[in-house]
Amino acid sequence: LKSNLKAAVERRTTRVTCSLCLLLQVFQDLGTEVLSGAAKGYNICLFAYGQTGSGKTYTMLGTPASVGLTPRICEGLFVRQEDCAPLPSSCRIKVSFLEIYNERVRDLLKQSDHKKSYTLRVREHPEMGPYVQGLSQHVVTNYKQVIQLLEEGIANRITAATHVHEASSRSHAIFTIYYTQAILENNLPSEIASKINLVDLAGSERADPSYCKDRITEGANINKSLVTLGIVISTLAQNSQVFSCQSFNSTASDGGDSGVPSSPSGTSSGGGPSRRQLYIPYRDSVLTWLLKDSLGGNSRTIMVATVSPAHTSYSETMSTLRYASNAKNIINKPRVNEDANVKLIRELREEIGRLKAVLRSFELRNFRSLNEGKDENLKELVLQNELKCPPPLPLPPQIDQLTKDWTRKWNEWKALVEHYRVDINRRRAGLVIDSSLPHLMALEDDVLSTGVVLYHLKNLVSVKLHLRTKKEGTTKIGRIDSDQEQDIVLQGQWIERDHCTITSACGVVVLRPARGARCTVNGREVTASCRLTQGAVITLGKAQKFRFNHPAEAAVLRQRRQVGEAVGGSGSLEWLDLDGDVTASRLGLSPLLWKER
């Protein structure tokens, strides 16, 4: 028994090691090409195609034990960013995750009602191409945040058991990375952007009458999108071959040395009618419409064909190989996504350099022809040429200063996002700002106020780890003319110099008004220490109103609401005996939650 168990463990260890080596080899062959193209500013698309159970999701996403291509590529972007830190450049990374289920688009990174989640529509911009309206984009600053978003999206993705695989993907998933770099090129500030589409397609399979109606509908929509993808790939391959033949014929006819006469209008060199570009049915499927630029436009596209070694999958394997064979014939025209003004300046500089070279050759020929002539005429000719071509002017110092200011703003913005743990997302026409720390949101009565002001409260854990101050977890509120430095400065009627303090420790936030200071919480005047709860409305002085937000407490209340527990509203106040120790366990909050956040 021990020997059999040992042999089984050795076999499993060997399989795991082989899978790890295989994914690492795939990343070295394909993932490094993705990173290299993204660093140069090209759009990249990497998608896996194959039948159900052939390893598409395993190749693209992997497992916790063996990381797939998508996490490795994300890790490579941040490693490249750290390696290029000494250079005068800055990077910004945003991600989005969507799935196409039954020809409808769903955002995998947005919490919404399941019945109303498939309402995103695909639009087409005249310059940017097809896009999903209302798709959330999340700014990430490290690899850990990317993994959290990936895990969240994978958990929301639809899977079901089939005859081939017990957890088969029933939708197409597209993980998009928006990689923007601010660089200094030829002493000019420039910005290049790259869009990386990492696509995990649903597996094709034969229809089975034993499936329920939903499964048959899913399979029909999956096969429809995959058939449309095959038609698009085949049409693009044919158009690429026609383009190559026309280019070859035009080159041969222009050369004149080959002896082959040029074909008349409307006929090819073989005597038959000329082949026109075929119509490409991108809009027949949501998948091909979204991947329009990736399949036949401005993108470097890589296809991973996954096949099954089983002899029963012979026809599916041959179909996948035909897909790959047609995809190899497609010719795309990728270009660097850079600033149009910087590109124009570079092209003008190259043109100026070419004209200077022509002028120098002309001067050299004139010098040789006039070498036997008079020296005075030669000097006069050189002087005239110098007057025609003045020396290049040095670059103005404003450009250098603009680059420095732009880089400084990037670094300040990144430091603010990391320090205050703020996540800024775009939701349709709105902008959502999420923070994981307790904060006050100002409620302005002034109709001329147009900004949103958030005041983050000092926390005991964050202060100990980062700020290293003695006044741990205490936020002071008062006027600017106070003897002590105030963290939040207010002006208005009935605002005292030292108005109040807010202490945050172990998930408990307590408001302590100063003697004679007017403080109101949820319409009740507070004269002693009071614990603040999620959603409490605080009035300081006569008209300074704030809303208190406690993200950790709100998360616990949402969990209780889901399990059906009765939760008190935001208008409730809990008065505490603050002479003793206040711990998070009395409030139902875990201190570990704060440390992890």
Distance CA 336, CA 343 (A): 10
Task: Judge whether 51 is annotated as a binding position.
Answer: yes
Q: DSSP for 358-381? A: HHHHHHHHHHHHTTTS-HHHHHHH
Q: Residue 398: is it exposed, middle or buried by C-beta count within 10 angstroms (0-12/13-18/19+)?
A: exposed
Task: Judge whether 56 is annotated as a binding position.
Answer: yes
Tokens representing 476 are 């002071």
Q: Are 204 and 51 in contact (CB under 8 A)?
A: yes
Q: What's the chain's length in residues?
A: 597
Task: Judge whether 55 is annotated as a binding position.
Answer: yes
Task: Judge whether 53 is annotated as a binding position.
Answer: yes
Name the strand (E) or helix (H) holding 505: strand 498-505
Distance CA 321, CA 336 (A): 31
Q: Are 53 and 308 in contact (CB under 8 A)?
A: yes
The SS3 assignment for 319 reads: helix
* Torsion angle of C-alpha atoms 323, 324, 329, 331, degrees rounded to 10: 100
Q: Are 294 and 232 in contact (CB under 8 A)?
A: no
Radius of gyration over alpha carbons of the chain, in Å? 33
Tokens representing 245 are 């033949």
Q: Are 268 and 275 in contact (CB under 8 A)?
A: yes
The SS3 assignment for 191 reads: strand
Residue 67 has what DSSP assignment? B
Residue 196 has what DSSP assignment? E
In terms of Cα–Cα distance, which of 86, 46, 88 is closest to 68? 46
Q: DSSP for 242-288? A: HHHHHHHHHHHHHH-SS-PPPPPTTB-TTSSBPPPPPP--GGGSHHH
Residue 514 has what DSSP assignment? P
Residue 416 CB neighbours (<10 A): 10
Task: Judge whether 54 is annotated as a binding position.
Answer: yes
Question: Which alpha helices (DSSP H) does 389-434 contain, by range?
Answer: 397-420
Task: Judge whether 271 is annotated as a binding position.
Answer: no
Q: How far apart are the first and last CA of the chain?
A: 47
Residue 383 CB neighbours (<10 A): 10
φ, ψ for residue 299 (rounded to 5)? Answer: -165, 150
Distance CA 303, CA 33 (A): 13
Distance CA 392, CA 475 (A): 57
Annotated binding site: 50-57
Binding residue ranges for ATP: 50-57
